[in-house]
A = this chain, B = another copy of it.
């Protein structure tokens, strides 16, 4: 049965991916060189943190999405695909300048890390459109969003006197708003009544919990990876903020009607990405010392504000209204807005206030505030514009979006239920029982 509609969903993937991969390989052939003379000790010190980042990007984000009962394979499998494509693409884009001046792109652990960071913004956006797209959509989105992210970085460094980009903060805001605009444009009528197959259950929830715990554990590595110095402060403050915010999450939990495994996931996780702020404040090149207690109330505060938001937004869905529909008709599968978007904005704001407080004279404070707000506006503008353009492109029917009833279904892409037995070959409708 599966083959009747499946080819239409998959027929675009092969030529597109073939073209893309051959293109990458050809470009890599001519322009990439792998760094060879390297400081052994520095490499050994950096390598474990690099592996922690891999766990966050490939495992953590991937298994977060396995909570959908019929979409676990796609959740983790497509996450890996997009991470892989996005990283290759980001390596090229980030190396553009070096290619322009030296004719070669040099690759070492650090450039891999930066490329994975760019890709992480795509993995965040995917949360918003999870289940309602096919792999071709996701790949196009990866290409455009990584481009947008690198463009945003370039704009910030060109228009503002920003010396070192604060990846972590840009990452969450850029990814979340890109994803939201995209899902708003791709919105379909089905979204208003909920998708038939958008469910979760106990076991898939545990897989999602596993992803969450991995994200939780390695978040200090993720936050501190690009810091040369003061990594200890970043690690400790992230760790403490994570601890406080998990406590605050469960504290609000029982009040909330939406205290599902899914809600828990969102909050446990969002809790974690609020923290960058604590560790990172070398925005605009200023090097102020990390205030010792900031991350802690902040982790808690962000968590609470977001939980309250959760309640007020999601509660209606339980009282028989359309759920998971924000005012703007966004069907946001993984709650990207409340997990990454709002905490990111709140974190940005808190950081602004704190840094202004620390300034000695007024001129400096005002200049700083202007820079800070400009950077936010540029990021939001780039994110929304690129999201809009991507959405318009993806609405094109040529990419064959999945039919409504094939949304949130692994079976459109993977032959999951196939029992490797002859006598059951005929009974392929195994999944109706599961």
A residues contacting B by CB (< 8 A) are 3, 7, 10-11, 13-14, 17-18, 20-21, 24-25, 28-29, 32-36, 38, 40-41, 43-49, 51-52, 54-55, 58-59, 62-63, 66, 70, 72-73, 76-77, 80-81, 84-85, 87-88, 107-109, 112, 135, 193-196, 198-207, 209-210, 213-214, 216-218, 221, 229-233, 235-237, 239-240, 242-244, 246-248, 250-255, 257-264, 268, 289-290, 292-293, 296-297, 300, 318, 320, 322-324, 410, 413-422, 424-425, 431, 434
**Given A14-B251, A17-B247, are A421 and B199 neighbors across the interface (CB < 8 Å)?**
yes
For residue A183, give the distance in angstroms from its CB to the closest CB of chain B.
Answer: 16
A13, B235: Cβ atoms under 8 Å? no
Given contact pairs A47-B221, A107-B240, a sample of 13 additional A-B residue pairs in the complex whose CB atoms are under 8 Å apart: A10-B254, A25-B297, A34-B236, A35-B236, A36-B230, A47-B235, A48-B51, A72-B205, A199-B421, A201-B417, A202-B416, A260-B416, A261-B416
B10, A248: Cβ atoms under 8 Å? no
CA distance A243 to B54 in the complex (A): 12
Chain B residues within an 8 Å CB radius of A203? 72, 203-204
Q: Of all chain B residues, which has the CB nearest A88?
A: B243
A297, B29: Cβ atoms under 8 Å? yes
**Given A63-B210, A320-B425, A434-B201, are A247 and B20 neighbors across the interface (CB < 8 Å)?**
yes
CA distance A77 to B320 in the complex (A): 28
Query: What are 6 A-B interface contacts by the 8 Å CB criterion?
Result: A25-B293, A40-B229, A45-B45, A47-B48, A58-B217, A194-B420
For residue A9, give the distance in angstroms from its CB to the closest CB of chain B.
Answer: 8
Chain B residues within an 8 Å CB radius of A13? 250-251, 253-254
Chain B residues within an 8 Å CB radius of A218? 51
CA distance A268 to B77 in the complex (A): 10
**Copy number in this complex?**
3
A73, B261: Cβ atoms under 8 Å? yes
B296, A28: Cβ atoms under 8 Å? yes
**Given A20-B247, A206-B76, A416-B260, are A255 and B14 neighbors across the interface (CB < 8 Å)?**
yes
Q: Of all chain B residues, which has the CB nearest A252?
A: B14
**Given A21-B244, A72-B206, A250-B135, are A292 and B32 neighbors across the interface (CB < 8 Å)?**
yes
CA distance A300 to B55 in the complex (A): 23
Q: Identify A199's interface contact among B40, B81, B235, B419, CB under 8 A.
A: B419
Q: Of all chain B residues, which has the CB nearest A62?
A: B213
A260, B418: Cβ atoms under 8 Å? yes
For residue A408, give the distance in angstroms from its CB to the closest CB of chain B.
Answer: 10
A217, B248: Cβ atoms under 8 Å? no
Q: Identify A17's interface contact among B59, B221, B250, CB under 8 A.
A: B250
Chain B residues within an 8 Å CB radius of A237? 34
CA distance A188 to B246 in the complex (A): 32
CA distance A236 to B33 in the complex (A): 10
B76, A209: Cβ atoms under 8 Å? yes
B47, A49: Cβ atoms under 8 Å? yes
Chain B residues within an 8 Å CB radius of A51? 48, 52, 217-218, 221
A11, B254: Cβ atoms under 8 Å? yes
Chain B residues within an 8 Å CB radius of A47? 48-49, 221, 235
CA distance A216 to B84 in the complex (A): 11
Q: Identify A261's interface contact among B202, B263, B414, CB under 8 A.
A: B414
CA distance A324 to B421 in the complex (A): 10
CA distance A207 to B207 in the complex (A): 9
Q: Identify A217's interface contact among B55, B196, B416, B425, CB under 8 A.
A: B55
Chain B residues within an 8 Å CB radius of A416? 201-202, 205, 260-261
